A = this chain, B = another copy of it.
Amino acid sequence: MTNGTVAMGRPTLEQVAQHAGVSRATVSRVVNGSPTVAEPIRAAVERAISELGYVPNQAARSLVTQRTDSFALILPEWTTRVFSDDQLFPGVIRGVGQEMEAADKQLVLMLAGSAASHDRIERYALARHVDGVLIASMHGADPLPGTLARMGVPVVCGGRPLGRARVPYVDVDNVNGARQAVRHLLDTGRSRIATIAGPQDMVAGIDRLTGYREELRDSDRRSIVAVGDFTRDSGAVAMKQLLQDDPQLDAVFVASDLMANGAIRVLREQGRRVPDDVAVVGFDDIELARYTEPALTTIRQPIDGLGREMARQLLRLAGGETIPDQVVLPTELVVRASA
């Protein structure tokens, strides 16, 4: 059996100071790497620290420094979606993690699937548990970023926030990416170009549909739209609907690679050859895009880069620097076999 009540062993600065025969100020200086400590004293203090197993109390430290050296990445999603085979989240997390590690900051991940956890996270950030917050994958006009920013918590969003809150963000050029995709289809002689859009409560879903519409309008083509939710299955369902709505379609721009994967499966099941009968362009360029049959022509977005840029901006903001209201990263057409 293990007992929760501990032998009250945690040594304090005070005890280290006594043990080493110096003042608390000196121990503090050694702990914080101040260069103004004489070598023999430093050595003595360091010995005391390791003998006692001293670790500074973070609460006491942040109370005076007003820093915690840790940052939160908030994903307002259920685990189910975050841990799907959509490789978007891991990419962003990896990018953020790299930058935080380089800056020697601790990254904490918080998933907020329910309204209750969403609230608790707000309190957590407002209580200054972290020096700043990154919010990605927002749905609708989430008030969280605005609330935190208004209360003085440094916040950077991943993806343009919907709603009126003016919070700095890093995003990918979704509109132009979608236009690139459609332009490629037009350039390769397609005429009836449908789209499987992403969820319309997320900015990536909205903007990619906008780009699709804009490009078609500029060339006087009509839109044929079905909406999915970025999952593979929703892509399959949407593809079936499109084929029913317009059996003549000869191309489809799908707003995510995972949905494109589902769509291609349906096309094959219904006897349409890709790209001969129907050309398919995806969006994301996740690893899967190289392994679909046929390999997927898609719009590459810099997923890790998005995470890295978000972290960089947040670190600057938390450091008191002025940062741009928005950073928009470019996308790139990657031509493979499907279009």
Q: Which residues of A contact B (CB under 8 A)?
A: 1-10, 53, 55-63, 68, 70, 72, 78-80, 82-83, 85, 87, 89-90, 93-94, 97, 101, 104, 106-111, 113-114, 116-117, 120-121, 123-124, 126-129, 151-152, 154, 166-168, 316-325
The reply to whether B320 and A55 form a contact with Cβ atoms under 8 Å apart is no
The reply to whether A70 and B124 form a contact with Cβ atoms under 8 Å apart is yes
A57-B63, A127-B56 known; A4-B110 Cβ under 8 A: no
11 examples of A-B residue contacts, CB within 8 angstroms: A4-B154, A8-B152, A56-B127, A60-B63, A63-B63, A82-B83, A97-B113, A106-B110, A108-B108, A109-B109, A129-B129
- Chain B hits for A57, CB < 8 A: 63, 127-128
A58-B128, A320-B5 known; A109-B108 Cβ under 8 A: yes
The listed residue (B61, B106, B120, B325) touching A2 by CB distance below 8 A is: B325
Looking at the assembled complex, report how far the CB atom of A167 sits from the nearest CB atom of chain B, in whole angstroms: 8
Q: CA A32 – CA B160 in complex, angstroms? A: 37
- Chain B hits for A9, CB < 8 A: 151-152
Known: A55-B127, A106-B120. 14 other contacts (CB 8 A): A1-B323, A2-B166, A8-B152, A59-B68, A61-B127, A79-B97, A82-B90, A83-B87, A97-B111, A101-B114, A106-B110, A106-B129, A107-B110, A108-B110
